[in-house]
């Protein structure tokens, strides 16, 4: 985040990989990110491997927890002690592309 000139206070939302039920919240707490700025789907899907961060991002946008212009921190652990993170500025075109079609069922 330092390279981007940002601090934790600039992060609007946080999504992660979810290898175990406690990991996402442990990372969130370690970074000092408020609970209302975090979303995970572990209870719904469990560990869905490399797609979990993307699924969490998708569902948070669909639930309108993440909005146009938000800065989102996406983090994941890998094999061993490898970790990766990306900062993403949410564009209007991304939000529009994920809008449910009229008549589609609501999320659970």
Tokens representing residue 90 in the block: 């949410």
In a domain, 1, yes or no: no
Q: Is residue 104 part of a domain?
A: no
pLDDT in tens, 60-102: 999 999 999 999 999 988 766 778 889 999 999 999 888 766 6
pLDDT in tens, 25-40: 999 999 999 999 999 9
Has residue 104 got a pLDDT over 90?
Answer: no
The number of distinct structural domains making up the chain is 1
Mean pLDDT of 31-56: 92
Q: Are 78 and 84 in contact (CB under 8 A)?
A: yes
Q: How confident is the model at residue 20 (pLDDT cuts 50, 70, 90)?
A: confident
pLDDT at 13 over 80: yes
Write out the residue range of the structural domain in which residue 52 sits: 8-97
Does the residue 17 lie in any domain? yes
pLDDT of residue 106: 61
Nearest to 62 by CA among 36, 32, 94, 31: 94
3 belongs to a structural domain = no
pLDDT of residue 89: 95
Residue 84's CATH number: 3.40.47.10
How confident is the model at residue 83, as a pLDDT?
80
């Amino acid at each position: 985040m330092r390279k981007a000139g940002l601090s934790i206070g600039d992060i609007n939302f946080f999504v992660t990989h979810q290898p175990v039920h406690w990991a996402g919240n442990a990372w969130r707490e370690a970074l000092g990110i408020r609970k209302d700025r975090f979303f995970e789907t572990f209870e719904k899907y469990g560990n869905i491997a490399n797609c979990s961060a993307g699924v969490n991002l998708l569902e948070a946008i669909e639930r309108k927890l993440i909005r146009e212009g938000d800065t989102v921190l996406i983090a994941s652990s890998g094999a061993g002690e490898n970790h990766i993170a990306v900062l993403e500025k949410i564009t209007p075109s991304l939000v529009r592309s994920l809008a449910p079609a009229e008549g589609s069922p609501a999320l659970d």
